[in-house]
Amino acid sequence: MSKLKVQVSLDLFSSPVANKVKKGKIIVLAVTTQATKLKNLPDPLLTLSDAQSNLDSTFHLAESGDHAAIAAMHTSEKVWDGLFRRLAGYVNSVANGDKEFILLMGFDATAAETVPLATTETLRAFYSEASKTIGNIDIASAPQHLSESYLFAITPPDAVVSQNGNTIIITIGLKKIYLVPNTHHNVVVTGLPSGEELCVYGAAFNNKGTGPVSKSNENAKPK
């Protein structure tokens, strides 16, 4: 498979602090997981982790609007920028133009044309945690070269999540929920129970967000 060489995208360093906080968590986790491939980090992993934690904590304190907290956030951001920019340069040199490796390290890559593979891969550096805002959860993963959209589901701990082809099945007690991600407006869903009446909902989504959820005009009953 022929590939065009790419580099680590530096757009991250001109993005808002909130984005740096989220991406930094992914990068630190990815670098930790792939430590054997990164023999000569420009800065120790502990230093990167500390800078990430400081930026995270000062960012949330600055949300109060306190001037001292905002100043502390900007100081943490400068330290973070320096460390992660050096890391980006190092990842560039190790990747040697390999886009998949850059994405594996949690960074975004500059644009390039590649020959697509048939399917996407398992999510890497995938994490979830309660955010500072009540009722919110932060979810993120390393970007994938082959993915155009991502689907996340939040379930109770006793739910069982399985997969039948492209259909994701969530079982809670005796009830099942079927999730069908697709890039087209028409799709055939497989693995459904025969003779059971089912409600069908749908929503369109793109990189700007998710549209309103709609219910189909009739319920469906598989044969």
* Nearest by Cα to 90 from 128, 141, 124, 39: 39
Could you tell me the maximum CA-CA distance found in the chain, to the nearest angstrom?
65
As given in the structure block, the two tokens for residue 114 are 């590649």
What's the rounded Cα separation, in Å, for the pair 144 and 114?
13
Provide, rounded to the nearest whole percent, the portion of the chain with pLDDT above 90. Answer: 44
One-character DSSP codes across 46-96: HHHHHHHHHHHHHHHHHTT--HHHHHHHHHHHHHHHHHHHHHHHHHHHHHT
- Two tokens at 13? 């360093």
Tens digit of each residue's pLDDT (9 = 90 or more) over 134-184: 888 888 888 877 777 788 888 888 999 888 877 888 999 999 999 888 777
**This prediction's pTM:** 0.61
pLDDT of residue 4: 56
223 residues of the chain, pLDDT tens digit each: 344 578 999 999 999 999 999 999 999 999 999 988 898 999 999 999 999 999 999 999 998 889 999 999 999 999 999 999 999 999 999 998 898 899 999 999 987 654 444 567 788 888 888 888 888 888 888 887 777 778 888 888 899 988 887 788 899 999 999 988 877 777 778 788 888 888 988 888 776 777 788 888 888 888 8
State whether the Cα torsion 120-124-128-131 is positive or negative. Answer: negative
